[in-house]
Amino acid sequence: VAAEKGEYRHFMQKEIHEQVRSLTDTLAGRVDFDEGTIRLPQLNLTPELARRIQRIYITACGTAAHAGMVGKILIERIARIPVEVDIASEFRYRDPIIDADTVVLAISQSGETADTLAAMDESRRKGATLWAIVNAIGSQAMRIADGYIAMQAGPEIGVASTKAFTAPLVDLYMLAILLGDLRGTLPETERKRLVADLRLIPDLVSRCLDREAEVVQVAREMRYIRNILYLGRGINMPIAYEGALKLKEISYIHAEAYPAGEMKHGPIALIDRDMPVLAIAPKDPWYEKMISQIEQAKARGGSVIAVATEGDERLPALCDHIFWVPDAPWMLSPVVTVIPLQLFAYHIAALRGLDVDQPRNLAKSVTVE
């Protein structure tokens, strides 16, 4: 097993670095850069079905659910279809409103998570069209779906999911474009621009990984923290959840995530010198809102780490530490902003000497309820 990790100490670190390759593979064969079109043949999405869809439920657990939260924003923005994201263990018992014009889209790395499969069964009974975005080829979720997108992440060993998070982000972006195109809600020039942006992804991710040493430095300084609050807004709000989840899964540090605009309704009471804030504040449409939230956190004595776009001149003056990311089109920015957070969680846990690939009490795939 040691050999398979190559130059890396843990599978998680190797898998974080594999994202340049997995995202390159995610685009291969699906994106026609000349035509500006997307092909997802295994989804079995006909123009007739695309036009008929009234509502999409995305159902998933854990990290996959965070990808779904980004997908909601993308599909609503690009294809103008209402999307709800539902944790599978809730969805399966909620008697959701489903009819023949509903699509239920399950996202699962393993394709074997019990709650996600049960949510799919329930949706089938109620007559929905069932789609799945799955990494494990031949898994149950892939078999029972009417159509699927196979993540091109390759086998993921580390319990804390990384490359099987960014792959579905790009899959959902491509799905949103395809839906918008088939429904006629996405103008051609806009479609071509969105498709062209995909070409940037591998390089953007690679540039985030090049900054690993800077993240290690901050991890070293912060490795003994007991609590941390992750804040994000808009398309990067789910990245706050995902960053906090990574940290708690493998470092056992209490990390809480909040939509930044909700901070004033409770969590701001927690902020003091012992409660650092990690703010995801790239130059996206929510940037100005994030700045004012960071100012509020600072005013209460909290130390602030921000994920910021290279060249940003305001955040360095406001924050204690910066994780720099390259400028990215905002709808793809979560693919970029999550990378330093994966590295941060990884290095804190590794510096604390913890079993990164097999954290206590967690399983890679939860196949019982």
Burial (0-12, 13-18, 19+ Cβ within 10 Å), 311: exposed
Q: Is 114 in the site for ligand G6P (CB under 6 A)?
A: no
Looking at the annotation, which residues are catalytic?
Answer: 364
Residue 123 is a binding residue for ligand G6P (CB under 6 A): no
Residue 36 vs 359, nearer CB to ligand G6P: 359
13, 22, 113, 140: residue in contact with ligand G6P (rule CB under 6 A): 113
> Which range in 103-111, 142-150, 233-241, 254-262 contacts ligand G6P by CB under 6 A?
103-111
- 161 scored as a contact of ligand G6P (CB under 6 A): yes
Give me the least distance between CB of 45 and ligand G6P, in Å please: 22
102 makes contact with ligand G6P (CB under 6 A): no
Scan residues 275-294 and list those touching ligand G6P (CB under 6 A). none
Residue (108 or 129) nearer to ligand G6P, CB: 108
Least Å distance, CB 196 to ligand G6P, is: 30
Binding window for ligand G6P (CB under 6 A); candidates: 57-65, 186-194, 270-278, 279-287: 57-65
Across the beta sheet with 102-108, what order do the strands follow? 83-87, 55-60, 102-108, 129-134, 147-150
Residue 251 touching ligand G6P (CB under 6 A): no
Q: Does 341 bind ligand G6P (CB under 6 A)?
A: no
- Choosing from 13, 89, 110, 123, the residue that interacts with ligand G6P (CB under 6 A) is 110
Q: Which residues bind ligand G6P (CB under 6 A)?
A: 61-64, 108-110, 113, 116, 159, 161, 362, 364-366
